Structure 1
Amino acid sequence: MSSHAAQLPTDRPRGVDDPACRAVVRLEIPGLYDGAVGAVAASCASTPENVLLAAFAALVHRYSGENHVEFRAVQEGGKEALLRLSVTGGSTFRGLAGEAGAVARPGPEPARLGVRVGGAPAVAPDDPPYEAQLVLPAVEEGSRWAALHFDDRLFDPATAQRLLAHYGQLLTDGVRHPDRPLAELTLLTEAEQRRFLLDWNDTATALPHEDACLHEVFEERARQTPAAVAVVRGADRLTYREIDTAANRLAHHLRGLGVGPDDRVGLFLGPSPDLLVAVLGVLKAGGAYVPLDPAYPRARLTTMITGASCVALISRAEQAATLTDGEHPVVRGHLVLLDRDAAALAARPDHAPEPVAGPDNLCYVIHTSGSTGRPKPIALRHRGVLNNIADLNTRFGVAAGDSVLGLSSPSFDMSVYEFLGMTAAGGTLVLPAPGRAKDPGHWAELAARHGVTVWNTAPALLDLVLEHVERTAADGPSPLGTLRLIMLAGDWIPVKMPDRTRQFAPDARFVSLGGATEASIYSTLYEVEATDPAWTSIPYGRPMANQRTYILDEALRPVPPGVAGELYLAGDGLAVGYLDLPDLTAERFLRWSYGPVTDERLYRTGDLARFGADGLIELLGRTDLQVKIHGLRVELTEIESVLRDHPRVKEAAVAARPDRTGAPALVGYTVPREGEDLDPEEVRGRLATRLPAHMVPGTVLVLPAMPLSPNGKLDRKALPAPPSPRGRRQEGGVPEEEAPSGPWEERIAAAWREVLGVEAIGRDDDFFALGGDSMKALRSMTQVPEVTLVDLYRYPTLRKLAANLRDTAGEPGTVPPSTGPE
């Protein structure tokens, strides 16, 4: 908990003006002055007034989650005191009442909160300005009416009325059970418990294919529309019958190798028709697929294959060769190469094998960043994934005739909807051409050529294609004009993005989706029909069909609307857990009962959130060190663990700091071992051999020592900001002989300056050393579309990249060599 004074959560952001009470609500509180108040006071040598003050301190603590509560008390006769109380969930009500009398002291300090007990029925004119002040009648009056005066610029009347009611709840339960910890005192009424826990989670919905498996839904589509196109890439157009037949043959082959229910099979394939065949083949065999992104470093892939206990690996010969150590393959099980084994596969039966798996068997295992230093394998079931897919397709009418761009990495669970969700509806998956998967211009071209109707990505990818379309907008039709459904997930959505998108996709429904891989892709949904100018973020939404959400405090008690707590997910989507990691599974998946809810299985997300008065969830941040980089989950502690493995690193830390555009960028901090030197670029290069590109810090700093807090722990807030990325540049710019030369260098340099926020770039400056990353590279390519991501990684300096462009594309304005239909 923080050490600063607690503040009540507000409905609107605080401004710079002094707070002032402007409105009032009143409530009758039965038992406000019954004998129990006096009994508690007598038991701790205090006064009834201090018991009332203690109840207010407990309320502020429960609302704010902070342990230091400060408010000004005005008691009968006008006696004023500033109270500063240390409150924890373990504090008892009796102990807090006694402390309230002991710590009260006079003083002129202002306070945002106040309590007036007796002496006046309303706020006095000479009172200091308060955000909120509780006014209670004199004890001897025996009145049961309390009032809350509040700043209506900050609080809605309904919020103030609810806060006052919760004060009554805490006071009543506190005097009845004075020796209970404050965390266990009742805050919500029974009616509120039913509304927050049951009514807001009334999501039970009958959906198609409730007792089916994912591959069985595809098989049904293949029987109904065998000639319909299931997947398109370039000139390849594969029908449902062709995909289903190939998957059946692969399934028989895998069965022959012994693959059965819940066995894991690695798929070392990029987004392609082969990947769809492989996914379905594994599922038809009864197994669960494990996506392995070919872009990941070999060491990480090895860890993933081993961690998932893969019994087989499906790939192609050239790709699989990168996963060998000499002549020893990484996979100790069976290796199926779709090209080498083509004849053997073609000889297998073309009908589906007899089913051996059901909806509660595993369908896939996806890895996410792990706080222990190793990626976490998450095991999902058919039932939960199909519930999510069926909800989206039913809710938005996705059907035959729809199509989606397949832009997500196979290792990101948004790809599950693209490959299995769209085909479950009988639609078409459109895949980018090899080598152009990261080209926003190509995405726009595909969307226009194929009349794509559904967009399903992280916000960063939509932002890239919007930038491209904005730069190339002409009088003709928008390439995004056929979109009718836009689904974004995985990261914060800029508030202006819905309106910006509608300029180019005016008929599209704009949907924000939230959730976690541990809960089958998505769990919450919010359709943005219009943006509110007061929004600071897009609402997180409400629970989807057959899923439930709870926001709980540290004691696992539900919090009222407006109060921050941790978001927990429940319902049909929950994963089995983390594969072969029982301790971690028990830590994040738990059984829970409270009030009307009994024996609910929860997933603890680590997301900080709060409910609105209508049950709409607002996401606030994280309770841990997990961040999102371009929509992908990153545990900072995993990167720190890999940094500490460097033989010359003594201590390490990683932070996510906003770059020039406001997007989070990773910064690594290292302290060398005594007598050792550290080369930041060498450290970064070593990280790239063990971590995916999005987890490699763009900047690595070498410090003499880590900043520490007074208790000797790492003070993350004191980690220094990295210097402005200038490469080898000084304030004076670049020498004339190093300045960009020629049309290509000048054009690329202009794009880099804008994307990287660097004032001057020399011919031999390295894009990544200047603070670039994969997403900034994509942004730069919207201005220089002739550059591919592969080119940039291969030729990262201005001089080398421009030379490559002259060889492959000629001078700007000339016709580049033909690269085929895509």
Structure 2
Amino acid sequence: MLVIYEGIPRLMPSDVAKSPAQCTKTSPGVSQAVVSSLALPDPAASMLGRWLEVVAAVPHALAIEGDGVRFTFAEADALSDIVAKNTRHAVPDDGQPLGAMMGHDASAVIVAIAMLKIGRPLVMLDPHLPAERLRTIVNLVGMSSAVVARQHAGAAAQLDDCLTNVVAYDSLVSFKAAEHARDEVDSSLELELERGRAARGQDIFTIVFTSGSTGAPKGVSTTQDVVLSDVVTFHERLGFDVQDRVLMTLPLGYSAGTCALWAALLNGASVWCLDSRDKGVAAVVSYIRKNSLSVILCTPHLMRAIASGMPPLASLPSVRVAATVGEAVHGRDLRAIREHLGATAVLANWAGSSETGMIALHTITGDEAIPDCSLPAGQVVDLKVVTLVGEDGSPVKQGEVGSVVVTSDYTSTGYWGNEAQTAERFSVDVNGVRVYRLGDRGRFDGRGHLTLLGRADAAVKIRGYLVEPSETEAALLSLDTVEEAAVMANNHDGVSRLVAYVVPSAGLIPPSNAALRKELRGRLPEYMVPSEILQLGALPRTERGKVDRRSLPAVPARHRQLGLSAQEAEIAAIWEKLLALPFVNKDDDFLALGADSLSVEELLAVVEDRYRLSLRSTDLMNNPTLEQFARLIAGNAEASPSHPDVVHLSAGGGNEPLFCFAGAGALGLQFRPLARHFPERDVYAFQAHGLEERAMPDRTVTDHARRYLEFIRTTKPHGPYLLAGHSFGGLVALEVAHLLAEAGEEVELVALIDTYLPGTEEAAADDTPASDAHGVPTAPHRSTERLLFGLKDFGRHARSYLLGLTTFRGELQFQAFFDFTLRVARKYRVRPYAGRVLLVHAEDNPDGPDQWSASLASAVEFERVAALHEPILREPYATELARHLRKSITAGRAQ
């Protein structure tokens, strides 16, 4: 039964021909008994002809679902007839392409079918695009008419200077029941839609636009043959048929979306439309499970998000195929999603372009191992021939890298309205078959599998070696600590270098740049290791989910400087080895080069062994550059005479200083990334007494506070004071605030950075020792620490009882202080504090404002950062943390 709701015919869920349980695959070949296979080549083949075959074969099977609206094939055919006829009357017959600005829903699919029947090229206008981008597309195509959904009327109105004839979708839809729809289409329909019925494979169905991520967008004239060839491939290689329910998240205005939509419909499968850009990943997972969808088609980025967003034991038992498209996919990503699928589910990725459709497909069955690398594009599909050619245009040998050339009658005819660009890439061979030069480089392995190595213009010579940045990307993605990576070649003053952009893996401590470089040197030749690495919270992406390389931030070039003294050259060699760098200059800062706490300790240990000079981290902070540190060594200088437990991170002056308190077993150096965001003020960081020299540790939180307060009052005798503490340091900051308030001083703000309330199980793990800053999985480690005191494991923790009597080497000292401080924290009870407090929590901290309400006044601000406990102080999260802190300081002064 079809009913009218807000002017749109809707099929009620009770009328769906198949229940969710019926959507799973039964046996191969079932679809052939219901919908005959499409055979190509066939000069008479057309998309509309195939659509009508499917409608006739399975009229009552579900075809489309989106936002609760469902249509069978017969209903979709009837409604699209009406939309086609009414559109034909509403737009001038000027032969121009027709636009459609719709939602990602059932009505958008109806419009696409209707445009097929009208027989004029369709241009899907994605409402997620900026108005200027849409205006560029409209002007390039030269169209003036578009069908627009009600919710996007405002976006269309911004294009009224070029899109002069806007037709509301609601006005095209009949308000009568679908069973009467055929009666409403008068006998003139056949004549009015004659152009659509006469169209064949060589005719243009749609114009899709390249992403423009590497240049200006181009309108690709997509013929019906290109679409039909993909329909055949999806049936023959992935088994698409009438039983499948296909998740449609790929935008309909792009090549992959067009491919997925018609590959499903023209094989008799149903499409289930949900836009992850609007609904989010959680909604996608729920949609798959609720409707028992059998096929997932999406980008690797979304597939990765689906896997990471699901609980460990959650499953998607209805899914039989999970396939990605758009960019390279790593084996790790497929292993992550496989954990949530059935044992027989097939994993796949396909490669192609807007100009060619699919050219290669790689599948992995349930019993096949998934390689620990970026997956190849796979086997070249039928109806396409791929040749790899060298610079002279002749084919290269197997295993050699060459430029990808696609020969097939099933490719685009060129770029709409741009003969010059078409001539650059498209041609015909001696047999009259179309030839397209993809612009990518690739190679074939011994099994005939194609691997794409990125754009031909992305390859670069580094020190005389030709380097494919995609291979360095693959090596980065093979590291557990890296979630996403993009590598680009950068040329500065005629010198080429590789720059890597890295997103750290969720659930693991972000690696330092030095650690990443060391890992890469064990996997790649020296010339393929990036000279610069920039860690980001996320890679910028285009509207279709690809990495937007043009939006990646610029990284200043480093050049080797001459003129190092003998002592500087000797120290430079040590730094280069510890940080895995090709060179170090006189004015380079050790920490700014990508060092972490472990690197600092390794450096100090080398200095002690080689020069018999015992230094603390404060000495490195006071002499951070190569020139200064070498001078310190050469002069055999004494350790800094400043307070042994204080690190002066920033010398801004002129504003109230920021006093920071480190967590258990942590160096004050951990606040360095945060301090860089406050150049206008002095920033001091306190660490545990005795951490870097033999001294009896403070045995209570109050003892810590009183010791630090002496330095604070010496540095700044009177308020207002700004205090910030990470983890256990937050408890110390609160206690310092109490002592200052009792002395009649003003405390402007106390920032508690991922501090746990003591007395809870979580409090036992409220800090992570310095050694955990190097890629150790956090969750298992923290679970162990939460059992620390219950297990009474004095064998493992005996060192913490010897602090002050002796010192331990390297990480053992940090671990001992970590264990000792946990006992101190568990004995502490927070006193109610009436001043302003900013709570900033990492994503796994359960102690929100409600839990702190008994200890803090109502003047509490709360922020959450999508980071883990230790990384919250490191970039890229330190930038967000600094923003919250600065905002709170500013807001307090405005009151």
Under a length normalisation based on structure 2, what TM-score does the superposition of the two structures give? Answer: 0.50
Q: Secondary structure at the match of 2:457?
A: coil
The partner residue of 1:585 within 407, 422, 426 is 422
Q: Flag the 1:503–1:334 CA change in 2: closer, same or farther, 3 A.
A: same
Matching of residue 473 in structure 1 with residue 315 in structure 2? no
Higher relative contact order, chain-length normalized (CA < 8 Å, sep 6+): 1
Q: Secondary structure at the match of 1:244?
A: helix
State the shift of 1:582 in Å. Answer: 1.1
The partner residue of 2:867 within 753, 758, 778 is 753
Mapped partners of 1:545, 1:437: distance in 2: 36
The equivalences for 1:31-70 within 5 A come to none
Mapped partners of 1:518, 1:242: distance in 2: 32
Equivalence for 2:763? none
Mapped partners of 2:53, 2:553: distance in 1: 52
Q: Secondary structure at the match of 1:518?
A: coil
Counterpart contact for 1:364–1:381, Cα < 8 Å: yes
Mapped partners of 2:885, 2:424: distance in 1: 47
Equivalence for 1:364? 206
Counterpart contact for 1:267–1:313, Cα < 8 Å: yes
Q: Secondary structure at the match of 1:463?
A: helix
The partner residue of 2:157 within 324, 335, 343 is 324
The range that moved more, 219-228 or 448-457, is: 219-228
Equivalence for 1:379? 221
Matching of residue 503 in structure 1 with residue 339 in structure 2? yes
Counterpart contact for 1:727–1:765, Cα < 8 Å: no
Equivalence for 1:403? 245
The partner residue of 1:459 within 275, 300, 305 is 300
Mapped partners of 2:100, 2:145: distance in 1: 9
Mapped partners of 2:298, 2:544: distance in 1: 22
Letter in 1 for 2:502: D
Equivalence for 2:724? 735
Q: Flag the 1:495–1:513 CA change in 2: closer, same or farther, 3 A.
A: same
How many residue pairs match? The answer is 512
Equivalence for 2:167? 336
Letter in 2 for 1:415: G
Mapped partners of 2:326, 2:542: distance in 1: 25
The equivalences for 1:293-304 within 5 A come to 293-304=126-137
State the shift of 1:698 in Å. Answer: 6.2
Counterpart contact for 1:763–1:797, Cα < 8 Å: no
The partner residue of 1:484 within 307, 320, 326 is 320
Letter in 2 for 1:660: V
Equivalence for 2:362? 526
The partner residue of 1:418 within 260, 270, 280 is 260
Mapped partners of 1:285, 1:693: distance in 2: 32
Counterpart contact for 1:262–1:361, Cα < 8 Å: no
Q: Flag the 1:744–1:269 CA change in 2: closer, same or farther, 3 A.
A: farther
Q: Secondary structure at the match of 1:238?
A: strand
Counterpart contact for 2:867–2:877, Cα < 8 Å: no
The equivalences for 1:132-211 within 5 A come to 206-207=39-40, 211=44
State the shift of 1:420 in Å. Answer: 1.8
State the shift of 1:288 in Å. Answer: 1.7
State the shift of 1:239 in Å. Answer: 1.9
Q: Flag the 1:426–1:743 CA change in 2: closer, same or farther, 3 A.
A: farther
Mapped partners of 1:614, 1:364: distance in 2: 35
State the shift of 1:382 in Å. Answer: 0.4
Q: Flag the 1:289–1:401 CA change in 2: closer, same or farther, 3 A.
A: same
Counterpart contact for 2:335–2:370, Cα < 8 Å: no
Q: Flag the 1:692–1:234 CA change in 2: closer, same or farther, 3 A.
A: closer
Counterpart contact for 2:398–2:444, Cα < 8 Å: yes
Letter in 1 for 2:325: A
Equivalence for 2:739? none
State the shift of 1:555 in Å. Answer: 1.0
Counterpart contact for 1:454–1:483, Cα < 8 Å: yes
Mapped partners of 1:624, 1:286: distance in 2: 38
Equivalence for 1:250? 83
Letter in 2 for 1:577: G
Q: Flag the 1:636–1:579 CA change in 2: closer, same or farther, 3 A.
A: farther
Q: Flag the 1:662–1:504 CA change in 2: closer, same or farther, 3 A.
A: closer
Mapped partners of 2:876, 2:238: distance in 1: 51
Counterpart contact for 1:365–1:377, Cα < 8 Å: yes
Counterpart contact for 1:564–1:609, Cα < 8 Å: yes
Mapped partners of 1:625, 1:304: distance in 2: 26
Mapped partners of 1:242, 1:407: distance in 2: 23
Equivalence for 2:58? 225
Under a length normalisation based on structure 1, what TM-score does the superposition of the two structures give? Answer: 0.54
Mapped partners of 1:227, 1:405: distance in 2: 20
**Structure label with greater radius of gyration:** 2
State the shift of 1:503 in Å. Answer: 2.3
Mapped partners of 1:380, 1:654: distance in 2: 38
Mapped partners of 1:288, 1:583: distance in 2: 21
Question: Gaps (5+ residues) in structure 1?
Answer: 1-204, 641-652, 664-686, 709-716, 771-795, 801-822
Q: Secondary structure at the match of 2:374?
A: coil
State the shift of 1:728 in Å. Answer: 6.8
Identical residues among aligned pairs (%): 20
Equivalence for 1:446? 287
The range that moved more, 354-363 or 532-541, is: 532-541
Deviations along 1:567-590, whole A, 9 cap, x unmatched? 111213210111111111111113
Letter in 2 for 1:589: F
Deviations along 1:707-726, whole A, 9 cap, x unmatched? 99xxxxxxxx99x9999886
Counterpart contact for 1:292–1:301, Cα < 8 Å: yes
Letter in 1 for 2:286: E
Counterpart contact for 2:386–2:405, Cα < 8 Å: yes
Mapped partners of 1:214, 1:286: distance in 2: 11
Equivalence for 2:48? 215
The partner residue of 1:548 within 355, 371, 385 is 385
The partner residue of 1:427 within 269, 274, 285 is 269
Q: Secondary structure at the match of 1:329?
A: coil
Counterpart contact for 2:842–2:867, Cα < 8 Å: no
State the shift of 1:286 in Å. Answer: 0.1
Mapped partners of 1:311, 1:535: distance in 2: 50
The equivalences for 1:668-687 within 5 A come to none
Letter in 2 for 1:512: N
State the shift of 1:330 in Å. Answer: 3.9
State the shift of 1:602 in Å. Answer: 1.9
Letter in 1 for 2:66: R
Q: Secondary structure at the match of 1:580?
A: coil
Deviations along 1:37-89, whole A, 9 cap, x unmatched? xxxxxxxxxxxxxxxxxxxxxxxxxxxxxxxxxxxxxxxxxxxxxxxxxxxxx
Counterpart contact for 1:436–1:442, Cα < 8 Å: no
Mapped partners of 1:619, 1:702: distance in 2: 27
Equivalence for 1:91? none
Letter in 1 for 2:86: H
Letter in 1 for 2:169: L
Q: Secondary structure at the match of 1:267?
A: strand
Q: Secondary structure at the match of 1:514?
A: strand
Mapped partners of 2:162, 2:199: distance in 1: 24
Equivalence for 1:557? 394
Deviations along 1:389-448, whole A, 9 cap, x unmatched? 12211333211121111111223322123322211122221123x787452222221111
Equivalence for 1:677? none
Deviations along 1:135-164, whole A, 9 cap, x unmatched? xxxxxxxxxxxxxxxxxxxxxxxxxxxxxx
Q: Flag the 1:756–1:423 CA change in 2: closer, same or farther, 3 A.
A: farther
Letter in 2 for 1:394: E
Mapped partners of 1:449, 1:308: distance in 2: 40
State the shift of 1:697 in Å. Answer: 6.2
Mapped partners of 1:568, 1:658: distance in 2: 30
State the shift of 1:281 in Å. Answer: 1.0
Q: Flag the 1:564–1:290 CA change in 2: closer, same or farther, 3 A.
A: same
Q: Flag the 1:754–1:383 CA change in 2: closer, same or farther, 3 A.
A: farther
Mapped partners of 1:365, 1:418: distance in 2: 16
